[in-house]
Amino acid sequence: MSWLLGIDTSSVDLGVGLFNNTKPAASFSRYVRNSHAEHITPVVKTILESNGISPEDITHLAVTTGPGSFTGLRIGIAFAKGFCFAQNTVICPVSSLEILAYGARTHRGRIVTAIDARNDDVFWASFESDGCSVKRLGNDTVCSAEEFEDIIKQSDTIITDTMGFSRSTVFNFLDKHQSFYPVESFPLHRGFLCTLHASLLLDNKDVWKKGNEILPRYLRLSSAQYKAKKVQNA
Amino acid sequence: MITLGIESSCDETSVAILRDTTVIKNGIYSQTEHSQFGGVVPEIASRAHLEKIDHLTETVFAETDIKIKDIDLISVTDSPGLAGALLVGVSFALGLHTTLNKPITGINHLEGHIFSVLLENPDLSFPFLALVVSGGHTAIYTVHDTGKYELLGQTVDDAAGEAFDKVGKMLGFTYPAGRSIELEASMVQNEKSITFPVARISSNNLNFSFSGLKTAVKYFIKDKNVQFINENRSRICFAFQKAVIDSLSNNLASAVKSTKIRRIALVGGVACNQSLRDALQKRFGTDIRFPSPQLCTDNAAMIALAGYNRYRKKQLRFPTMNPSAPL
């Protein structure tokens, strides 16, 4: 029997999910803004206890590896690394853009999911949904806000996430688009969806990694390296 | 009793194993990614910590016969330091704590530095004075007991190590510049042709200031040509280093006078500086103790020892995220 724990700290929410094989057992999602590290331990402990299992019973762990808040990603991944260390529990890295697509899977057709990457850039990926399952059409990428206006032209549904950035403007042009959904407009339990996605991959050995192989997918340089590179190019 | 120490507050990732008060293993990885930027870049530091922390933990355990399940306590630096960097160590420790179901404690980084001297000098008894000098801190404490620290004075602007790095940058050294300045200064014996002011903030307290000294060096070299600087670099380094040492030494002497405590510990990254050690040894004799250089810089063994002592005193506290918390 497999117990699967999922952790998502990529956004302003802390999300934790628990599955027994492919069956959901528990889900937690709460707005915590900048205090993921404070809440993650009691939340995980409570979820395990209330399901009558101990941490040693967890055989698989899913964690969101990005793109998203750099610090947020590191909290979830560092916790996952520590959690899995003693027993060599295997980890499945999950894309935050895929989680958004899973959240919108009832929308049939082509779904583009996007996250504000700041500096007028957008993280995005595209998926195809048949109403219950989601198929990825391309890798997670970063592009400029301008390029993004072209990308959405061939999509049926657009899901956007500003990651709590209140001055975000990159998605403003979508206001008139009829099938545009900001994440705030529908319930999104990222911890649950992260675990769900990994539970569907339980038999796929390739996606399950050792803890020391898991790293965030930032998809961009730190701003110091970015500026240094810009100076170099100029 | 086995204590696991974890430290990631700045640019050193460190994992240590202690059996009671004896260091079994003290694994330290010093990040080299920052030198091209002339200082520690928080985001780069945080990324490097996460890339290293579990590999380092594996290495440390692989080199001993102790297994991760044998540990009795997890001790992790949770303040002060770079928020993103601290969070990597703290989150990793919290993950370990959740599965191992072993007690965990947060440790103040400065408290760790104070304990670094006790790793090799277990006979140093309370109360003693601790002069903590590093790239981020310069402060004098009276250490009454584990968990009981009284701040006597601290820097009102730059830390001493920070002044070394910034002056080093002006003189063309790469970050970190402490060692380079020390080497350069050692080329002259006693230099009196160049002098820099020793700051004294107030006669009522033991605070430090190094920002004025840094500016004095800046203005001294401002209108000098490259040739002059090349010819006088050793003299400038010597005079600057002397001003820092005098400031630290004078305040320490005042602290001894006012507290009547004669036992002293010099800790922190700048305590690696041999000229500083020699000067203080000369002035305070056998009353002053130093950790060996590898225990002066950031390391997890000192964090583990502080945790062990807190455990013995029943002073464990769950890690909190308050990156600017004072000691």
Cβ atoms of B308 and B73 within 8 Å: the answer is yes
Residues of chain A positioned with their CB less than 8 A from the CB of B99: 55-56, 58, 82-87
What average pLDDT score do residues B191-196 get?
A: 88
Query: Among B54, B82, B90, which would you mutate to test the A interface (most chain A Cβ atoms within 10 Å of its Cβ)?
Result: B54
Please tell me whether the interface predicted TM-score (ipTM) of this complex is above 0.95.
yes
pLDDT tens digits along A1-57 = 899 999 999 999 999 999 999 999 999 999 998 899 999 999 999 999 999 999 999
**Secondary structure (DSSP) of B43-96:** HHHHHHHHHHHHHHHHHHHHTSS--GGG--EEEEEEESS-HHHHHHHHHHHHHH
Same domain assignment for residues A92 and A102 = no
DSSP at B215: H
CB-nearest to B97 from A41, A212, A218 is A41
Query: 10 Å Cβ neighbour count for B127?
Result: 15
The answer to whether residue A231 sits within a structural domain is: no
What's the mean per-residue pLDDT of chain B?
A: 95
Superfamily designation of domain B2-115+295-312:
ATPase, nucleotide binding domain (3.30.420.40)
Give yes or no for residue B189 having a pLDDT over 90.
Answer: no
Report the chain B residue with the minimal C-alpha distance to residue A218. Answer: B47
Same domain assignment for residues A76 and A17 = yes
Same domain assignment for residues A16 and A75 = yes
Query: 10 Å Cβ neighbour count for A146?
Result: 12
Same domain assignment for residues A163 and A204 = no
- Quote the number of domains for chain A: 2
Contact call for A224 and B90, based on CB within 8 A: no
Cβ atoms of B43 and B318 within 8 Å: the answer is no
pLDDT tens digits along B234-270 = 999 999 999 999 999 999 999 999 999 999 999 999 9
Same domain assignment for residues A77 and A121 = no
Report the chain B residue with the minimal C-alpha distance to residue A34. Answer: B321
Q: Please, which pLDDT band fits residue B192 given cuts at 50, 70 and 90?
A: confident
What average pLDDT score do residues B1-25 get?
A: 98
Contact call for A212 and B58, based on CB within 8 A: yes
The answer to whether residue A233 sits within a structural domain is: no
Domain ranges for chain B? 2-115+295-312, 125-290
Q: Please, which pLDDT band fits residue B53 given cuts at 50, 70 and 90?
A: very high
Is the C-alpha dihedral spanning A161, A166, A171, A172 positive or negative?
positive
Residues of chain B positioned with their CB less than 8 A from the CB of A56: 99
Domain with A131, as residue range(s), is 98-182
The answer to whether residue A34 sits within a structural domain is: yes
Contact call for A83 and B100, based on CB within 8 A: no
Contact call for B93 and A82, based on CB within 8 A: yes
Domains B2-115+295-312 and B125-290 belong to one CATH topology:
yes
**pTM higher than 0.90 for the full model?**
yes
CB-nearest to A55 from B46, B69, B98 is B98
Query: 10 Å Cβ neighbour count for B253?
Result: 15
> Rounded distance, CA B310 to CA B150, Å?
17
Contact call for B99 and A87, based on CB within 8 A: yes
Contact call for A37 and B101, based on CB within 8 A: no
Q: Which residues contact A171 (CB under 8 A, 6 or more apart)?
A: A114, A116, A160, A162, A180, A182
What average pLDDT score do residues A88-93 get?
A: 97
Residues of chain A positioned with their CB less than 8 A from the CB of B88: 74, 78
Structure tokens at A124: 């995005």
Closest-CA distance of chain A to residue B81, Å: 15
Contact call for B97 and A82, based on CB within 8 A: yes
Q: Any idea which residue has 């899913």 for tokens? A: A62
Q: Please, which pLDDT band fits residue B191 given cuts at 50, 70 and 90?
A: confident
pLDDT at A89: 97
CATH of domain B125-290: 3.30.420.40
* CB-based contact, A45 to chain B, within 8 Å: yes
Q: How many CA atoms lie within 13 A of B143 on its CB side?
A: 27
Closest-CA distance of chain B to residue A182, Å: 28
Assign residue A211 the CATH number of its domain.
Answer: 3.30.420.40
> Rounded distance, CA B310 to CA A96, Å?
40
Residue among B201, B209, B206 nearest B255 (CA) = B206
Residues of chain A positioned with their CB less than 8 A from the CB of B321: 35, 37-38
Q: Is B289 exposed, middle or buried (0-12, 13-18, 19+ CB in 10 A)?
A: buried
Structure tokens at B242: 């002397």
The answer to whether residue A138 sits within a structural domain is: yes
* CB-based contact, A212 to chain B, within 8 Å: yes
pLDDT tens digits along A102-111 = 999 999 999 9
pLDDT at B202: 74
> Rounded distance, CA A17 to CA A47, Å?
8
Contact call for A44 and B98, based on CB within 8 A: yes
